[in-house]
Structure 1
Amino acid sequence: MLLASPAQAACRLALALGLDVSGSVDAQEYRLQLDGVASALMHPEVQGAIFGMPGAHVSLAVYQWGAEDQQHVLLSWTDLHTPGDVARAANNLRAANTRFENPYTALGAAMTYGAALLRQRQDCWQHTLDISGDGPSNSGPAPQNVLRDPRAGITVNALVVNPGGRDNVTKDLSQTRTLLDHYRAHVLRGPGAFTETARDFRDFEAAMTRKLLRELRPAALSLDANAPQ
């Protein structure tokens, strides 16, 4: 069987990872987060999922976000055809060191920014936005008010750090009880959208690995879904 060359291959999934590096994230947590994504990408099972459909690749972009006007692309759209492509993407994340000092967290703006990135890849079959965060929005548009049109064809999943976090004088959970409830109620979009959780940033790598496996495997197996039983 002849396999498609990179120039001919189809993009089966555009995956945009949005990482919360607002003022609540200190230098150590920033490093744990970015290195955690890099290590998750290098995990053998994740690579098996990335390359699970020969001739139909994954395209990855990674950006960080903070206040309403703070979004920065760490990895522009990168087609993952080979393990070398994944290794270069991981190395770029390990080398990143730009942090935001503004204390505000603009989750709705981060979601809007990620959706705009995904619209750049109309050639891909599926579009998934992967938002990670450790607190609710306290600036900019509320997350429940953005990306409401199902015709956009974007799935929004979430990775929640400290999922049992509760409301206090500085955080508005928008009438939900915990941070995990907040993300489930106001962030998730699209059929099959889900949340993954990390106890803290030391658990981020393991949580991101689990999350990537869930996001990549259904896409990798989708052609078999209608196969004769």
Structure 2
Amino acid sequence: MVLLRSFLACLCLTPQAYACDLALALAVDVSGSVDSDEYRIQMDGLAAGLRDPIVSEALVRGQARLMLVQWTGSSRQRITIPWTRIDSFTTLDQFADHVAADPRVWRNFSTAIGEALEMTTASFGEVSECKRHLIDLSGDGISNEGIEPATLHAKLRDRGVTVNAIAIEESEPDLTAYFFENVIVGEGAFVVSAAGFADYPERIRKKLLREVTQQTAVLKPALR
């Protein structure tokens, strides 16, 4: 693995690899319906997904920018890991370490998806050089407080922000349909369903694979 990563890092030094392909904001649900074990599953699963060899290769090759957001009820959204330039596998590993160790900010509040999207969208001004602006939102419930997420779709389109989602259907079996109708927006936007929190790590890995490997078509082909 060390030799493979060293070789891949050399490939990332080609001139075309210096342009940022993707700014990816990882927005994690920490509302009251998420207990401490479920929070840990999300953070550990997300960290593991970022370390997937294909995901990490695409992020480094595309000089991606990553950010972590914790969100819950109205006025309770926080950037806990600011935009980070992923310019090496070491940087990617460090970012994943920070995700896994990120302390939970809130525990017992509602679900304000619209406000999470609005706050996260405003942060993309810091990474305007990136070709794609993407919010990867996870959640286990519908929005029940604050701005209705669907009312933000026009603004998100105008700003060139795509929203994808992972619906954790632990207690709401129709959550995927709700996210499809009300949350996701943008060209190629999609929802991934997790049957429950135990299913989250594998589903988020596959979601990241789908999101980040879009850039390999405009860079050089991935190694086989």
TM bin, normalised by shorter chain, reads 0.7 to 0.9
Matched, 1:193 2:189: yes
Counterpart for residue 210 of structure 2: 214
The Cα of 1:208 is off from its aligned counterpart by: 1.0
The amino acid that maps onto 2:159 is A
The Cα of 1:117 is off from its aligned counterpart by: 1.6
> As a proportion of its length, which structure holds more helix?
2
The Cα of 1:100 is off from its aligned counterpart by: 1.2
Counterpart for residue 116 of structure 1: 122
Q: Give structure 2 stretches of 5+ with no counterpart.
A: 1-10
Query: What CA distance in whole angstroms lies between the structure 2 residues aligned with 1:5 and 1:125?
Result: 13
Query: What CA distance in whole angstroms lies between the structure 1 residues aligned with 2:158 and 2:109?
Result: 34
The Cα of 1:116 is off from its aligned counterpart by: 1.1
| Local SS of the residue matching 2:201 | helix
Counterpart for residue 162 of structure 2: 155
Counterpart for residue 174 of structure 1: none
Query: What CA distance in whole angstroms lies between the structure 2 residues aligned with 1:198 and 1:35?
Result: 15
Query: What CA distance in whole angstroms lies between the structure 1 residues aligned with 2:202 and 2:100?
Result: 17
Q: Percent identity?
A: 34
The Cα of 1:69 is off from its aligned counterpart by: 0.8
Matched, 1:105 2:111: yes
The question of whether the paired residues in 2 share the 8 Å contact of 1:11 and 1:123 is answered with yes
The Cα of 1:103 is off from its aligned counterpart by: 2.8
Task: Identify if the C-alpha distance between structure 1 residues 89 and 223 changes in structure 2 by more than 3 Å, giving closer, same or farther.
Answer: closer
2:176 pairs with one of 168, 174, 180 = 180
Counterparts in 2 of 1:1-229, with a 5 A limit?
Answer: 3-4=14-15, 9-51=18-60, 53=61, 56-149=62-155, 150-162=157-169, 165-166=172-173, 178-223=174-219
| Local SS of the residue matching 1:89 | helix
The Cα of 1:223 is off from its aligned counterpart by: 5.0
Query: What CA distance in whole angstroms lies between the structure 2 residues aligned with 1:141 and 1:121?
Result: 25
Query: What CA distance in whole angstroms lies between the structure 2 residues aligned with 1:140 and 1:114?
Result: 15
Greater than 6 Å deviation, 4+ residue runs = none
